[in-house]
Every structure is written in structure tokens, then in C-alpha cells.
Amino acid sequence: TPEPAESKATASFVVVANRLPVDRVEHADGSVDWRTSPGGLVTALEPVMRRQDGAWVGWHGAPDEALEPFENDGIQLVPVDLTAAEVEDYYEGFSNGTLWPLYHDVIATPGFHREWWDAYRKVNQRFAERTAAVAEQGAVVWVQDYQLQLVPAMLRALRPDLRIGFFLHIPFPPTELFQQLPWRDQILEGLLGADLVGFQVSGGAQNFLRLVRARLRQETHRDEIRTAEGRTVLARSYPIAIDASELHELSASEPVAARAAEIRHDLGDPDVLFLGVDRLDYTKGLLARLQAFGELIEDGTLDVDKVAFVQVATPSRERVEEYRQLRDEMDRLVGRINGDIGRIGRPPITYLHASYPRDEMAALYRAADVMVVTPLRDGMNLVAKEYVACRQADDGALVLSEFAGAARELRQAYLVNPYDVNGMKDKLIEAMQDSPRNKARRMKVMRRQVAEHDIDHWASAFLDDLGKTGPKA
Ligand code: ADP
Ligand code: F6P
């Protein structure tokens, strides 16, 4: 539980993200709770911040609520307040109704509304001002993700002494899609306020460099941009990672091992346990994945008495229309599959619309024989890496979408095109039936990859490069 604390007035290292690592939640009876914020950004950055002495600037998740800075788990948290109207227009609107679908291959149709853009600008300015007030002279500031793309330039205007990095956690789209955005040049200019702009994969950095050349007429040389005012900005890729050793140890612990066995037992000790873990998001490919599994039982390839599928889906962005629709579609699909082909005590799909603590997640990963990660588009996907980190031996199998950033590193996964339901059915069977020898060969390489390229490696690669750029205060 966070404790209100004397806030240090300034910090030499500042992370700026839309969300703080904890959300303030108010219950119906008026009591207040804090819970870990959802998503990969917090999973990745929290351990980095715990090891640094710095401040984290972000929204605390509650509308119309003004909070003072406080300390949580050794991290200085600096809240940025949003009104209910700003949550609607900046967060649900421009961030998650415009940028999120546009940057994810327009899987849903982005909305282009001028009032959303106005709120995005205004809120980005507030984040920049809050950060300018917290950062020491010459501090390193690390701005995160698509909700805050204007902050680098706004912050530089206020504080030219700072060294500013920006990292995009989601895909940076192909140039043709990006150019639909009515405010495309403003976004590019916002990002160019940073000294270093980081992307998950090299394709994202290349798309950005191409746009900067074509639209803003800036000179580029390899991964360097020379801006009109004579600064150099670097654009590079840094595939994000997890705290692999910590998760591995958690998964190795006796209580987690016991809980993993209990989960399998409660599911009726299936021969094969399939697992999906996602935010409930239309980019995650949930419907086609469950459809593929359902068809395998329906057509007799899989025996409902011998297999089980657990799908955990964290509630996410519940006031955005597309997310409501997805929730209804999931309820319908799971209900239909379980109703059509389930037996007493044997629903083929166990669907949990909930968020769980880390030890429960580790137990689920440890229990699963086949991890199914099939996003239609994903910047990285940390769930895939978490499953690998939780292995205690070279066993288990990972079915992974070609369209997740993680597929670049986890080449030994059973790679699938998530739009191809038949292809997915074949891969689920292959992953399940492959020989232990083949599985071990694949998992061994992936375990080494995940262990060696962990979150500290990622943060120092980015921060070392950032340290070599920018103003010398
Ligand atoms: P995204 O950032 O789009 O949500 P990632 O796969 O990169 O996707 O990261 C998701 C993070 O959220 C992972 O650390 C995962 O363990 C966590 N997570 C996902 N679903 C749940 C859940 N139901 N309960 C607890 N944590 C979850
Ligand atoms: O990078 C993925 C991401 O969008 C983060 O920026 C975000 O914090 C997380 O997923 C969860 O989404 P939200 O903050 O909208 O609940």
C-alpha cells in the first residue's frame, strides 16, 4: 500500500508515462485501494525504477482526483491529475480511439476528432510542465509510449538543459497508415524533441526515419536525424524484456509449484493444458484463437475429456466501444463453445475475466503445456517471454504470432499467422504432439534468449545510448 511521503522536490532521473505503476481504485462503500496498473509498460519499467533512485510522473487512474506526490515500494510517484472529460477525450479518445488502432494496422477503425486532439495536446502539455518542475538541472528524462508523443518537444521548450529519451512500447505503423493522421507532422515534431527515440523493432525506427525525411524534409544518415535547429536525434530499436530471473525464481518456489499442481488438478488433470493470458483487447487475436481450439474439439481432433484451455483476460479500457463489443463477443463465443461441446465438469474453455497477482500468473504459466499467444499485431508481447522464463526445464511449447515483436527474438516458437484459423489449428496440434526432444531443443534456445536479454539489459542499452547524446548541461 502506498504511503504518503515527503516528496523530494527534484530528481536526476525521471520516467514519464501515462500511468503510474499503481492505480487508485475507489470501491462502492467509499473505501480506497491501490492496485498494480495493467499492461506490459508497468511490468517492464517497475523493476527498472526500483533499481534507480528516481521519480515516476504519471496519471493515477482516477478521474477528477487531485493527489500529492507519494512514495510506493521505494519509487517516488508524481501524480498528474485528469478531469473526467480529459479521460474521455485524451485517454479513451485520442490515445485509445485514434492512435491505438492506427498504430495496430487499423484492426479497428481509428476516429479522427478535433476535440480529442485538442485534449491530447493539452494533457501532453500538463505532463511536460509537471516533469519540468520535478527534473533537476541536466536530468535524464525518459518519456514512455504513444499517449505522450508531444511531451519530448514540449519539455525541451521548457527545459533545454535536459537529456530526453522517448520509447514507444507499441508498433510504429507503416508510413501509409501513419499518414492518415490529420496531425501527423505535429506528432513527428513532438518526437523529435527527444535526443533518442526508441522502438521495439528496427522496422518501426525505419518507418519513423522515412517519415521524418519525406514529411519534415529533415536530413538523415543511417539512424541519425539532423534537425532544422542543428540537433542530432537518434532513432533505434530496443526490444523490451522482463525481469527474467525474478520471475524464474518465483516460478521455482514451493508455493507456486504447489499451486500449479492444484490448478491442473482442479481442471480435472488434463493431458494437455493450453493457456492464453492477455488484456482483453481486439489486437490480441482472442476470438480466432478460441475458435481454432473449439473447432479442434468439434471435429474430433482433440478429446474434450483430455484437454483444457484456460484463457485469462484482464479487463481493459472498458468504456471504449470496441472493447465493450469484444467483451460481448467473447462471452458469446465461450458460451457457445462450452455449451455445444462441454460435458458436466468438463467445460473445454475456462474463461477468467480478471487480473491476478504475479504468483498466480507464475503458477498458471508453470502449469501450462502449450502457451498460446496470437495477437494480430503487438509491439512486443511480454506474456510470451514470461511463459519461457517460468519454465523449470526444457519443456512446454509456445505458439506465437508472427505479428508480435517477440517473434523476432523467439524464432524457435511455433510461429503462426493469427488470421489463418486452419494454420492455427495445425500449429496447436503440432505444438502439442511434437516429440519431447524437439520441444526441448526449441525451449532451450528460447530460455537462453530470455535469460540473457532481460530488462536490465534493455534499460542499460537505451540509457547508455541516451547518455552519449544530447545537451551537455
Ligand atoms: P500489453 O502491454 O499490450 O498489455 P504484454 O503482453 O506486453 O501486453 O504485457 C501484459 C502484461 O500484463 C504482462 O506482464 C502480463 O503478465 C500482465 N497480465 C496480462 N493479463 C493479466 C492478468 N489477467 N492478470 C495479471 N496480469 C496480467
Ligand atoms: O504498451 C501497452 C500499453 O498500452 C501501455 O502503454 C499501457 O499502460 C498498457 O498497455 C495498459 O493499457 P491502459 O493503460 O490503457 O490500461
Query: 95 CA distance to ligand 2 centroid (A)?
Result: 10
- Count the Cβ atoms, other than its own, within 10 Å of residue 350: 17
Grid cell, residue 370, equals: 502449450
Grid cell, residue 24, equals: 487508485
Nearest CA to ligand 1 atom 15: 383
Nearest to 322 by CA among 61, 101, 62: 101
Say what angle helices 184-191 and 202-216 make with each other, to 10 degrees. Answer: 110
Is pLDDT at 349 greater than 60 in this prediction? yes
pTM score over 0.95: yes
- In this prediction, residues 35-56 reach a mean pLDDT of 91
Residue range 113-170, pLDDT digits in tens: 999 999 999 999 999 999 999 999 999 999 999 999 999 999 999 999 999 999 999 9
Query: 355 CA distance to ligand 1 centroid (A)?
Result: 9
The burial class, CB within 10 Å (0-12 / 13-18 / 19+), for 468 is: exposed
Least confident of 29-33, 169-173, 284-288, 305-309: 29-33
Is pLDDT at 471 greater than 70 in this prediction? no
| Residue 38 beta carbon below 6 angstroms from any ligand 2 atom | yes
Query: 185 CA distance to ligand 1 centroid (A)?
Result: 32
pLDDT band with cut points at 50, 70 and 90 for residue 473:
very low
What share of the chain has pLDDT > 90, as a percent? 92
Nearest to 245 by CA among 52, 51, 19: 51
Say what angle helices 382-389 and 244-252 make with each other, to 10 degrees. Answer: 50
Is pLDDT at 4 greater than 70 in this prediction? no
Query: 378 CA distance to ligand 1 centroid (A)?
Result: 12
Of 15, 41, 56, best ligand 2 pocket probe by most atoms within 8 Å of the beta carbon: 41
| Residue 383 beta carbon below 6 angstroms from any ligand 1 atom | yes
String of DSSP letters for 240-302 = ----HHHHHHHHHSHHHHHHHHHHHHHTT--SEEEEEEEES-GGG-HHHHHHHHHHHHHTTSS
Nearest CA to ligand 1 atom 9: 40
- Please answer whether residues 102 and 181 qualify as being in contact, where contact means their C-beta atoms are separated by less than 8 angstroms: yes
pLDDT for position 2: 55
Q: Which bound ligand lies closest to the C-alpha atom of 37?
A: 2
Known catalytic residue at 464: no
Q: Find the largest Cα–Cα distance for the chain.
A: 70
Nearest to 246 by CA among 76, 44, 75: 44
pLDDT for position 265: 98
- Please answer whether residues 384 and 404 qualify as being in contact, where contact means their C-beta atoms are separated by less than 8 angstroms: yes
pLDDT for position 3: 53
Nearest to 380 by CA among 302, 458, 324, 443: 458
278, 369, 378, 454: the catalytic one is: 378
Query: 278 CA distance to ligand 1 centroid (A)?
Result: 6
What residues contact residue 81 under an 8 Å CB cut-off, 6+ apart? 59, 60, 64, 65, 66, 67
Give the type of residue at 464: D
What share of the chain has pLDDT > 70, as a percent? 97
What residues contact residue 18 under an 8 Å CB cut-off, 6+ apart? 58, 59, 91, 95, 144, 145, 147, 148
Nearest CA to ligand 1 atom 12: 39
Of 361, 385, 400, 401, best ligand 1 pocket probe by most atoms within 8 Å of the beta carbon: 361
Residue with cell 531443443: 441
Nearest CA to ligand 1 atom 27: 355
Task: Identify each DSSP E strand in 37-74 by its residue range.
Answer: 55-59, 70-72
- Look at 331 and 73; give whichever has higher pLDDT: 331
Q: Which bound ligand lies closest to the C-alpha atom of 46?
A: 1
Query: 38 CA distance to ligand 1 centroid (A)?
Result: 6
Residue range 221-242, pLDDT digits in tens: 999 999 988 999 999 999 999 9
Known catalytic residue at 378: yes
pLDDT for position 8: 56
Q: Which bound ligand lies closest to the C-alpha atom of 405?
A: 1
Cα 468 to chain centroid distance, Å, stands at 27
Using CA atoms of 468, 470, 471, 473 in order, give the dihedral in degrees to the nearest 10: -50
* 3 bridge partner residues: 71
Residue with cell 493450453: 274
- Atom index in ligand 1 nearest the CA of residue 354 equals 23
Residue range 242-273, pLDDT digits in tens: 999 999 999 999 999 999 999 999 999 999 99
60, 89, 104, 169: the catalytic one is: 169
Average confidence score pLDDT of the chain: 96
Residue range 403-447, pLDDT digits in tens: 999 999 999 999 999 999 999 999 999 999 999 999 999 999 999
